[in-house]
Amino acid sequence: MLLLVLLLVIQAYPLSAQQSKALRGLVDQIVAEHQKEAPTQALVVGIIDGEYVYKYSYGQLAPNTPYAPDSSTLFHIGSITKVFTTSLLVALEKDHCLSLSDTITQYLPDSLANNPFLNKITLEQLATHTSGLPKKPFNIPPTLIYKDNPYANYQIKDAYHFLMQFRPTPRKKKRGNKHHFNYSHFGMGLLAHLLENASGMTYDSMLHKYITTPLNMQDTHLLLNEDQYKRLAKGHHFSGRKANELYYASLYGSEGLRSTLEDMLRFVQANMQLHQNYELDEVLSVCHEPQFPANMRSVQVAYGWYVISHGKKKQPTIITHSGRTGGYSNYIAFEKERQVGVVILSNSANRIDEIGIDIIELLLR
């Protein structure tokens, strides 16, 4: 699965890459094997093993661009955005701005409270994909401008219109489990909007206050400045054809962030170390706590994260998330006890999860 460690306080643990010919050779072999099945355009790999950090890059940024990516290249991280959104939820609860048990109608216009089904949905359910909301709302097609950019013109008013008419689909729940897991991009995007309403801050402002400033993550944003945009690796479809730029009118808290290998290593380190910034450590550790079974064997959903545990004491528990959207594919995972983790970012729609899984299994041998 995956491993990854990086620092919370830069002065304490510099993010300088280490050298290991043996590890490099094994990682090269893993990447090469998977590239035969699903070739990617540009790929960066970050590995954390205790105090040591390893950074590797593969491929080139575009077919006609002979430049390799590096740790400062920006990628669209897609659904990995969700673990930032859930971290903000817990941070706001710690700041007494809201409660996980609050219903969503507390942070929506009064007119939406007329839908009785919304009164039963809590912020916690949005964060754990157990709200009953669908993966995507049914009213996206009328708002489409670009076929491969579904949220570019999907406004909050469209989300409200969907919520006004929402009726949960009856589902058979597993014995002993009153919650039903249903992965929802819409639910997580809605959660970010509700956090803005509850706090009076924009998503970017919350992100800077609670996560990116404390961790010195300088390149993790919804919107990029001129310098960052120049460093953005353009996305590519399965065929290798360049993908269109992604935009989000409203549901950016589900898939909208851009980041670099350097920043994501810092974020994973913060999630693994949990002892250098008490307030943030406490927030991140809460997010790792398993809440409900997911629809996969040995997998539980935490707040945004997935927790993979085989129920055996000698088997390590892996905390992970992946993202694939608009010509990008990404994967992060870590194991806290052994302090190992992996970050993989690519600008190709071809999934790279298996690369990360093989690397983390290698590190846990």
pLDDT above 70 coverage of the chain, percent: 90
Give me the number of domains the chain comprises: 1
How many Cα atoms occupy the beta-carbon half-sphere of 145 within 13 Å?
A: 11
Answer whether residue 93 is part of any domain: yes
Answer whether residue 211 is part of any domain: yes
Burial classification of residue 181, based on how many CB atoms lie within 10 Å of its CB (0-12 exposed, 13-18 middle, 19 or more buried): buried
Answer whether residue 356 is part of any domain: yes
Answer whether residue 185 is part of any domain: yes
d(CA 101, CA 85): 16
The pLDDT value recorded for residue 19 is 73
Answer whether residue 7 is part of any domain: no
For 147, the domain range is 21-363
Answer whether residue 9 is part of any domain: no
The pLDDT value recorded for residue 327 is 93
Give residue-wise pLDDT tens across range 179-227: 689 999 999 999 999 999 999 999 999 999 999 999 999 999 999 999 9
Strand 258-260 versus strand 74-76 pairing type: antiparallel
Give the CATH number of the domain where residue 117 resides.
3.40.710.10
Answer whether residue 12 is part of any domain: no
To the nearest 10 degrees (0 to 180), the angle between helices 21-37 and 353-363 is: 150
CB atoms within 10 A of CB 212: 21
Answer whether residue 8 is part of any domain: no
Give residue-wise pLDDT tens across range 114-127: 999 999 999 999 99
Q: How confident is the model at residue 11 (pLDDT cuts 50, 70, 90)?
A: very low
Helices (H), the chain: 21-37, 81-94, 123-127, 156-165, 185-199, 203-207, 226-230, 252-255, 261-273, 278-287, 353-363
